[in-house]
Amino acid sequence: MNTEFTDWLRGLGDDRLRALVAARPELITPVPAHVEGLALRATSPSATGRALDRLDRFALSAVETLLVMTAEDGPGLAYGDLRAAMAASMAPQDAAHLDGPLRAAVDGLLRLGLIFGSDAALRLAPGVRDVSESPAGLGPPAAEVFRHHPPERLHELIQAVHRGDTGREEAVAERLAGLLAEGGIVERLLRDVAPQARAALEELAWGPPAGRLPNARREVSVATAQSPIEQLLARGLLAATGEESVVLPREVALVLRGGRVHRDLRPAAPPLNGTERDQTLADRTAAGQAFTFVRTVEELCEHWSVDPPGILRAGGVAVRDLKRTAQLLDLPEWTAALVVEVAYAAGLVASSAPVDGEWLPTNGYDAWRVKGIEDRWEVLASAWLAGDRVPGLVGERDDRDRLLNVLHPELRRPAAPEVRLRTLRVLAAAAPGLAPSADSVRERLAFEQPRRRGAYRDRLVDFTLREAEQLGFTGLGALSGFGRALLPPATPGEPARLLAPLLPEPVGHVLLQADLTAVAPGPLTSDLGRWLSLAADVESKGGATVYRFAEGSIRRALDAGSSADELLAMLEKHSTTPVPQPLRYLVTDVARRHGRIRVGTAGSYVRCDDPSVLDEVMADKRAVPLRLRRLAPTVIASRSSRAVVVDSLRAFGYSPVAESSEGDVLVTRTDAKRTERPSAGRPASAPAGPDADVVTAAVRAIRAGDEAHRARRQPVAAPDGQVPRSPSTGTVIALQEAIRQGSRVWIGYLDSQGHATSRILEPARMEGGYLTAYDETRAAVHRFALHRITGVADVN
């Protein structure tokens, strides 16, 4: 079979061979030396399984039909017989339109090299049968099931099935299988058993074909059978495969199925069902989600610039830090985890050190935040789509019962990018405005890749649908136009171009109120939003965001280098109402007290031009732990660090500022913390398959190598007689002369065990103490150590 498959591959035209390796790029990684190497790689279990994984349910059903209706070393199946067998498993209305889908499926299988031959005899490629377990839910053939039964037991079964002489031939398992395959015999045996026994078989008929049964290998005959299961075991309708396991032979299952290989075969994918949405409304909703997500990522990075979380010893972010981040962002924890993971995947957040570091924004964040909202969203969405991390697993435990924190190294799942892409492509296949249900999406994916379905894949699909809505790929469950434009093959910049007109227009003003609050009537511009987050605290979010000014927030802005006049000027510039008097008083009062006390390093020192203020500090009992000492009327020293003294005095109600050893005020900026370490979460671009030029070159190399491989000479026998022996100097001279003339020589050679052998060689070159030559006795090129050559003689 391998030889026939190799010959079929060799007979393909270059166009079809290029199509094969383009559809299965793993076959040319690396490029095989010849067609035989290509055939061996194409039929290996891993390569065959990967190709089968690419098939949809209908194409896989065609493979399963061939598996059931052909033997491993038997003849192929005609295309017409394949069509008839598949039509028998379909509804009449579907069978009437079978020709087009079946032709496309067979051509696709030929293109993938999973079947070969012509329409007169289609055959499975070697290796397909080896990686196909329970095709169409059928058990193994009877010959395989009964092969390991004792001969005496097989003769009893044959007698029960045939009701005559067993013949006593050797291949009793094959004879029993042949009897079960004969028309009418299984039907007769089924009529002989009780209805309960037949009902038990019906449960196994459509798979799975195996079941558990205590004492499955019990000795039982037709005469001694009492229970329904024993009736089946006695007649070979059920076979024991272990002490507690039984299986339904394939021949019996086909009779129970009425000769059908599949129960309900459909040539087309199931339709997508869901809720109809207005596409314009869905796009605008998705755009709002995209805008919010971008701003949330920016808010996260701003928070972590000031107060970054530490890195756990096992990697990731602590649970308490995630809870605190979720509270700051006003989000559920799973959404906050998604925001953190996407920022990490986009290279906006990274660790400052492998051990004992912090999670900080990267230098790339500063370049990202100056872009437009639409461009920033495209960066984030592309990172999520191509990333191999699964934020939905945050909070769960791994197989060693370890908690999976956000940014934990074990959140990587190789299947995640493919599942995300396939899920979004299913949404893209829906009619415009249709929001498919999750069950409908899972059913469609099960049709497209039936070998990869399972609970794990379904969970990834659910995570994808939930996260796509949060990022803005979908709006109200329907795929957005700009989300569709991001699916491969995508044109860079096109998603951003489609998103830009749908984004809400940022506003550059607020409404100041007398209760020390500012109301932002919409999303603020990035610069105003960052400044207002510095000078005020967010009190509530929604359609409008409410900011509250307080002494601490004003001091925070002053610490960042602003003056009272600059704060008031910004408020007047961006407020549609006059600055309320209470707010003006608050700013001037905090600014008046700000910086009157200055803290330096001694341990540290405190100085103030007003001695009465330092008198208050010295008299404050809360300052006892600072161990203050009056050095002068305007100077106090402390053994505590400058940072501790500053924080303590602020807690006491003062407004100190830190100063350098030269007496200059130290301005602290909230966005000063950055890391230069690249984010390990930045995804590589998704592979788009081998380049056409690479495929062409690979096929050309395979053809050339195959031609050389087939043209190589066959091994020849070494001459009889004593192994040649000659002085080492004469040996080298003779070899050099043979290389110059291109002639053959007969040499004696000691192998690794010291045994003398003789070879006929065509020397090619001699260097570094080795001779490279074509060995005619082995029909291959070899290198020979010169010190092992015992002598050289001419070939007669």
For residue range 536-578, what is the model confidence (pLDDT) as tens digits?
887 777 667 888 888 888 888 888 778 888 888 888 888 888 8
In DSSP terms, which residues pair with 784 in a beta bridge? 771
pLDDT, residue 717, reads 61
pLDDT digits (tens, 9 = 90+) for 282-297: 999 999 899 989 989 9
C-alpha span between 254 and 262 (Å, rounded): 10
- Put residue 363 in one of left, alpha, beta given phi > 0 → left and psi -120 to 50 → alpha: alpha
CA neighbours within 13 Å on the CB side: how many for 254?
22
Residue keyed to tokens 């009736």: 231
C-alpha span between 296 and 302 (Å, rounded): 10
pLDDT, residue 33, reads 80
C-alpha span between 390 and 411 (Å, rounded): 6
pLDDT digits (tens, 9 = 90+) for 377-420: 999 999 999 999 999 999 888 878 888 899 998 899 988 999 99
C-alpha span between 642 and 602 (Å, rounded): 8
Contacts of 11 (CB under 8 A, 6+ apart): none
Write down the pTM of the prediction: 0.72
pLDDT digits (tens, 9 = 90+) for 611-670: 888 888 888 888 888 888 888 888 888 888 888 888 888 888 888 888 876 677 776 654
Cα–Cα nearest to 395, from 305, 307, 335? 335
Question: DSSP readout, 228-296?
Answer: HHHHHHHTTSSEE-SSSEEE--HHHHHHHTTT-S-SS--SSPPPP-EEE--HHHHHHHHHHHHHHHHHH
User: Does 360 score more than 60 pLDDT?
Assistant: yes
CA neighbours within 13 Å on the CB side: how many for 218?
20
Long-range contacts of 19-24 (CB under 8 A, 24+ apart): 19/111, 20/111, 20/112, 20/113, 21/690, 21/695, 21/698, 21/699, 22/689, 22/690, 22/692, 22/695, 23/54, 23/111, 23/112, 24/50, 24/51, 24/112, 24/113
Question: DSSP readout, 176-216?
Answer: HHHHHHSTTHHHHHHHHS-HHHHHHHHHHHTS--EEE-TTT
Residue keyed to tokens 């329409």: 119
Domains of the chain by start residue, with CATH: 2-132 (no CATH), 142-256 (no CATH), 274-486 (no CATH), 511-590 (no CATH), 596-658 (no CATH), 728-794 (2.30.30.100)
pLDDT digits (tens, 9 = 90+) for 56-87: 999 999 999 999 888 877 788 999 999 998 99
Classify 139 as helix, strand or coil: coil
- 289-316: average pLDDT: 87
C-alpha span between 331 and 333 (Å, rounded): 6
Note whether 131 and 46 are within 8 A (CB): no
